[in-house]
Structure 1
Amino acid sequence: MYQKTVLDNGLRILTSPLPHTRAVAMSLFVGAGSRYEEDAIAGVSHFIEHMLFKGTERRRTPREIAEAIEGVGGVMNASTDKELTVYWAKVPVDHFTVALDVVLDQLLHSRIDPVELERERKVVIEELAMVEDSPGEIADLLFENIMWPEQPLGRDVAGSPSSVASISRQAMLDFLAAQYVPENTVLAIAGNLPHDRIVDQVREHVASWQRAPFGQWQPARDGQEAPRVALRAKRTEQAQIVLGYPAYSAFHPDRFALDMLNTIIGEGMSSRLFVEIRELRSLAYDVHSGLAHYLDTGAFVVYAAVDPKRADECVRAIRGELDRLRAATVPEVELEKAKEYVKGRLLLRMEDSRAVSSWIGGQELLRHDVQSVDDIVAAIDAVTPMDIQHVATDVIRDNRANLAIVGPYRSSDRFERLLA
């Protein structure tokens, strides 16, 4: 599925051959995200991601960087999460050399120009302000804040207006030096190119990039013993509901059973929540569930947007469906449908070169190992109805519920009573 080379400086290069495609995708993963940040520089990982598109020593302006990729019909972007930052580009295979040069030029030779930095600071603060116009995003952040209070996992990845406003250029350079080092970086490439050729080209670009120590992420703290409720009073047409529970990390042996539970309860239009909440009760247009698997913890979460007058009814209905999972085993036919759904979506996703580069690169950075698609399919197939009931009982605990509400309410008392 892939080949791996570790350069003398510690940089890991992974390639996956895709002879059927005329495109090549590269994903550059760095161990930098909000879990690596102190409170005083919250958002610096995301801010740096922006700045690496603002000019290098050879490509002095954002336009020159964009034109280098767009000029060959390619696309590029980046994103920052809690545990990593990824820069990616996808181009026709004949233009691989150009794309590699651009991405590594951004990584190693960005100017972090003081004038551009002040301009981009205003852009990032505006990005944060956009959240106020999105009640769903407010609810997500509110939920994370009560799930992981007073720690990096519970913060907005982009920081806060005050923290972004206070990040100095020197603080940014210090964080770059602490995290953007070869051993904390993975370059993953998927396309119809020989591994050795890729390695030789990368080695030329990074010859002067030296090994260095790098900072570690901050472990999650979990002391929850009772339900938590948070309300953000806001005049909205719909109440945003986020109900969730602490769950499993990316390494937990029951992770795949929880993935199947999540699919059964809240993935797709035939899921239990969709059928009960939308089709039978007409409570919500959108209702679904999701999972977060981090390095040392996770979350199982249900989302719904409803008429504010019916929010109580919706929460009760959601909890009723969760109770069903704990009370009885899932029918074999329902579990098999969920398995085929997850496997099918995974296999379809792997038809895209960027998805393949992300698959191998992200796992290598976070796990120091890459599970193949066949490994995942086998783990899914091994899940039993009893496994589903076990994780339902283990994860969906009433005293570990976290409920975030955004809507036109004066008090959270009514919602606290729902979880009592």
Structure 2
Amino acid sequence: MELKEIVLDNKISLFYIHILQINTVASGVLVKAGTRHEIWPKEAGIAHALEHMRFQGTQLFPTSRDISALIEDDGGVINAWTSGEGTFFWQKIPATAFAKSPLLLSQQLLHPLIPEKKIATEMQNIVQEIRMVKDDPSHFALREFGHLIYSGHVLSRDVLGTEESVTSFTRPDFMNFSDRLYFGQRMRFIVVGNVPELDVVRSFNSYFHDVKASDGSLEENTGNLKTEKREVIHKRQIEQVHMVVGYLLGAGDARSVTALSVFANMIGGGMSFPLFQTVRDKHGLCYQIDCSVDKNKDCSTFYIYVGTNPAKYRDAENLILQIIKECKNNRQLLERAKSLVLGRLSMSYENPASIMQVMAQQILYRGHPKTKVEMIREIESITIGEVEEAVSTYLSEIYQNTLIVGPESLA
């Protein structure tokens, strides 16, 4: 199950893992073209909107139904996502039907129709997506927390854009963004599953031989981050408080961020860990409480989300802060968290799509995916001293950012 980096004839890297024990294969094309590369406000949300339009027909598959049916008729799954850092087009399909994957990916990436007659309809679908997020208080809270914690940086931008910008997009807008960012040096290919290396290389060399090489800019938009204590409250016609408590971290590949990723599992790895046991099981303050780390190329965040009683949301917040302080030097929790992370890593290797998604994220924030052995060694090597230092340095109350969405009567 060795991770290989293969440089194709077009000079683009293909990351490949051959897994003999399964009968499926996951394939994808990652493009470093995300929200941070947009020109705001005119292009707000265009990276995500262009992802949608690449499902609206290609030269060989002229309709959205043709595109989806090619994969789904063999029982496969086809999808894509866009983030602040990039866009990822991917499929999972029986290994016997693998030849369809690079063919369709090349059509979507190199030969999309971007049909003018479909733009207005598809942009209205995105408008509904924007409104859906606004109507869901937990999603709205997490989105607004992103605006808050990354304030001053391009990662604070909403991936979906705005209703005004999305409904203004024209075909020339999409083609301009595509020409500016969809070229070889910004692309990476990923294949994980039971397909021989020779077949993979031949297919991607054949279908992607005419990809543009390097006639665009690799410059990244950034911004100025603010490391200060902030709290924002949104009042709406809802019953619960949806609260996100978080902190700004360094680059996604920093050792301290890895230590804090382990710490997130030390306190929030599951129902037997302190956040659930204390805030929910002992005090009855919530139904859902989650802890996570969002990793990006130049900055990351550690955050905890909780949905709680409006009369006791400060109690929930104080308990969260207490847990952070009390658990940062708990060796037993560290060992439990390591076992949890390593066990879940092992189970993820039963699903090629899960492996592929992790690889895509790692390419975005560190430029290169890690091998399974590298990930295991990295987790095993984290010490309680590193965890305690990272928590003390980054998860200080003086840097705490809190986003609260609550009822209009919230005190």
Give the TM bin, normalised by the shorter chain.
Answer: over 0.9
Percent identical among aligned pairs is: 26
Q: Matched residue of 1:309: which SS?
A: coil
Offset of 1:348 from its aligned partner? 0.5
Superposition pairs of residues 2-401 of structure 1, within 5 angstroms: 2-39=3-40, 40-211=42-213, 212-225=215-228, 227-325=229-327, 329-330=329-330, 332-364=331-363, 366-401=365-400
Cα pair distance change 1:341/1:75, threshold 3 Å: same
CA contact (8 A) 1:286 1:304 kept: yes
Residue 221 of structure 2 aligns to a residue whose secondary structure is: coil
Deviation (angstroms), 1:361 = 4.2
> Alpha carbons of 1:290 and 1:364: their partners in 2 closer, same or farther (altered >3 Å)?
closer
Whole-angstrom CA distance in 1 between matches of 2:108 and 2:13: 18
Distance (Å, rounded) in 2 between the aligned partners of 1:230 and 1:159: 21
Question: How many Å apart are 1:366 and its aligned residue?
Answer: 4.3
Taking the aligned partners of 1:166 and 1:152, their CA distance within structure 2 comes to 21
Unmatched 5+ residue regions in structure 1? 415-420
Change (3 A) 1:362 1:385: closer
1:83-123 Cα shifts (integer Å, max 9, x gaps): 11111111111111122211211111111011111110111
Q: Distance in 2 between matches of 1:387 and 1:37?
A: 37
Q: Deviations over 1:283-341 (max 9, x none)?
A: 11111211111101111101110111111211122122223246xx21x2221111100
Give SS of 2:114's match. coil
CA contact under 8 A between 2:147 and 2:156: conserved in structure 1?
yes
Which residue identity is paired with 1:80? T
In 1, are the aligned partners of 2:234 and 2:405 still within 8 Å (CA)? yes
Q: Which segment drifts farther, 263-272 or 364-373?
A: 364-373
Look up the equivalent residue of 2:406 and give its one-letter code. Answer: G
Contact conserved, 1:69 with 1:75, CA < 8 A, in 2? yes
Instruction: Provide the C-alpha distance between the structure 2 equivalents of 1:99 and 1:381, rounded to a whole number of angstroms.
Output: 36
CA contact (8 A) 1:142 1:230 kept: no
Distance 1:365 1:389 in 2: 27
Report the TM-score when normalising by structure 1: 0.93
More displaced, 259-268 or 355-364? 355-364
Would you say the 8 A contact 1:29–1:362 is kept in 2?
Answer: no
Distance 2:248 2:99 in 1: 44
Unaligned regions of 5+ residues in structure 2, if any?
A: none
Q: Measure how far apart 1:389 and its partner are.
A: 1.2
Q: Is the 8 Å Cα contact of residues 296 and 365 (structure 2) preserved in structure 1?
A: no
Query: 1:360, CA displacement in angstroms?
Result: 3.6
CA distance in structure 1 between the aligned counterparts of 2:385 and 2:175, rounded to whole angstroms:
51
Q: Secondary structure at the match of 1:157?
A: coil
Q: CA deviation at 1:17?
A: 0.7
Length, aligned pairs only: 408
Aligned alpha-carbon RMSD (Å): 1.7
TM-score (norm 2): 0.95
How far apart, CA to CA, are the structure 2 residues paired with 1:402 and 1:345? 30
SS in 1 for 2:148: helix
Partner amino acid, structure 2, of 1:90 = K
Post-superposition offset of 1:125: 0.7
Would the aligned equivalents of 1:27 and 1:354 in 2 still touch at CA under 8 Å? Answer: no
Spell out, residue by residue over 1:387-413, the C-alpha distance to the aligned partner (whole angstroms, 9 max, x if none): 2211110111222111101111467xx
Aligned equivalents of 1:367 and 1:239: distance in 2? Answer: 35
Take 2:218 and 2:170, find their aligned partners in 1: how far apart are those partners? 19
Cα drift, residue 10 of structure 1: 2.8
